[in-house]
Amino acid sequence: MSLVVKILGNDFLDKAPPLYYGGVLANVLGLHVFRTLYLNLWRLKPKKLGGEYQKHLDILEKDGILVLPDFFPKEQFDEIKNEYDEAYSGWSPFDYDPEKLSNRQKDFPEYFETIAEKIVSAKTPAFMKYFVNNEFITKLSEAVTHRTNNLPPHQHFWYLQKRSLEKGNVGNLHTAGFPHADVPYPTVKVFLYLNDVNEDNAAYIFAKGSHKLSLKRLLFEYKLSVSFARTRNDIAHEEDVHDLGYDCESICGKANTLFISNNMGYHNRGDFSNLEPRQTAQLDFRQLETWRNILTRKGSGIFSKVTRRFVKSFDKAIKKERRASISNNNMS
Ligand SMILES: [Fe+2]
């Protein structure tokens, strides 16, 4: 098995196809266009589910985003919010120590000098029961992506807040502040606002309809893929989205507003103009595109048993390799 790990790479099971891939020549020759077409095969539109789900899927098909105010019954929302508050007790957004920035934050030090951010990988009971294992969300994520959730999505609480009004707009100091697609195929992120959020405290921004694969979009993607391969720069602007025929729109909502977003569409983080926090709980269904999810097939058929065993052996081989390299390092 260790030979298989060597050939496929340690991250084989967990990586999803990235936004761009390959060198300059390959992208000039159209690699990104071909892989975008391939990655969208059979899934240009959400799967039909019928019944109570269909009207929501119709909106996701048309807009790429579904916004549902007052999503949870009040008691359930309150339970989630209590768990969220508990997760942040003892932390103050005004404590700033540049030494303590996470690796992700270190890429944008100027942004995080002004914006406090803390992400917690929560597994608290109400959050798990009502949100992470929510049947409605699971079904819609599967219909949009044409995949099956064999593994849970990435899940977290996320807190953002501007620390001071001294500096003006700092949103453009982070690439998340510019319109972008996460990947060139249908992928779902789900947000629950835990406080009231509007344009002043960084409401999520989405260009409705921009999740669709059109010829214009393909040409634009082609341009960005070549630019990215050349200079690692793939920044798009609101005008680009406008030229594609869409408008960037703030998704404002009261606490307990849920939205399901197909992040093949153009979206970005809003900016802060006051000191109100943006408190969210989020799910990211990118795990659906990984081999780990595909091979962790449920069921008792022989094929499922074999693929699940492959995943187990693969993980075992990686663990063994890690142990060996740690003991080598200790000896040297
Ligand atoms: Fe994004």
Say whether 1 sits in a helix, a strand or coil: coil
Which letter, b or e, does each residue of 104-120 get, where b requires 16 or more Cβ atoms within 10 Å of its Cβ?
Answer: ebeebeebbbbbbbbeb
CA 175 to centroid of ligand 1, rounded, Å: 9
Which among 132, 141, 145, 139 is positioned nearest to 50, based on CA atoms? 139
Q: How many domains does the chain have?
A: 1
| Residue 163 resides in a domain | yes
pLDDT in tens, the chain (332 residues): 788 888 999 999 999 999 999 999 999 999 999 999 999 999 999 999 999 999 999 999 999 999 999 999 999 999 999 999 999 999 999 888 888 898 889 999 999 999 999 999 999 999 999 999 999 999 999 999 999 999 999 999 999 999 998 888 888 889 999 999 999 999 999 999 999 999 999 999 999 999 999 999 999 999 999 999 999 888 899 999 999 999 999 999 999 999 999 999 999 999 999 999 999 999 999 999 999 999 999 988 999 999 999 999 999 999 988 888 777 777 66
- Burial bucket for residue 215 (CB in 10 Å: 0-12, 13-18, 19+): exposed
Distance of CA 332 to the CA centre of its chain: 40
Q: Which domain holds residue 240?
A: 47-287
Q: Is residue 267 part of a domain?
A: yes
Sheet holding 204-207, edge to edge: 248-251, 204-207, 267-268
The answer to whether 40 and 211 have CB atoms below 8 angstroms apart is no
Check residue 11 and give its pLDDT. Answer: 92
Token couple for 31: 């690699």
Distance 125 CA to ligand 1 centre (A): 27
Query: Would you give the DSSP letter of residue 152?
Result: P
Residue 20 lies in a domain: no
How far CA 237 is from CA of 142, 243, 248, in Å, comes to 30, 10, 10
Distance from residue 158's CA to the centre of ligand 1 (Å): 14
Q: What is the DSSP string of 18-54?
A: -SS-S-HHHHHTTHHHHHHHHHHTT-SSPPP--HHHH
The answer to whether residues 224 and 234 touch, using CB atoms and an 8 Å cutoff, is yes
Q: Which pTM was predicted? A: 0.93
Q: What is the CATH number of the domain that holds 164?
A: 2.60.120.620
What pLDDT, in 10s, does the model give residues 82-110? 999 999 999 999 888 888 898 889 999 99
Q: What is the pLDDT of residues 228-256, one digit of tens each?
A: 999 988 889 999 999 999 999 999 999 99
In a domain, 327, yes or no: no
**Residue 102 is assigned to a structural domain of this protein:** yes
Distance 169 CA to ligand 1 centre (A): 19
pLDDT at position 309, please?
Answer: 95
Asked, for residue 137, whether it belongs to a domain, the answer is yes
In a domain? residue 239: yes
Pairing of strands 115-120, 267-268: unpaired
- pLDDT score recorded for residue 332: 60
Q: Does the residue 175 lie in any domain?
A: yes
Give the Å distances, CA to CA, from 292 to 10, 198, 208, 263, 281: 12, 37, 31, 21, 24
Give residue 323 CA to ligand 1 midpoint distance, Å.
35
Q: 201 is written with which tokens?
A: 């405290």
Spatial contact of 155 and 282, defined as CB atoms under 8 Å apart: yes
Nearest to 327 by CA among 319, 9, 312, 2: 319
Distance 180 CA to ligand 1 centre (A): 6
Could you tell me if 189 and 250 are in contact, meaning their C-beta atoms sit under 8 angstroms apart? no
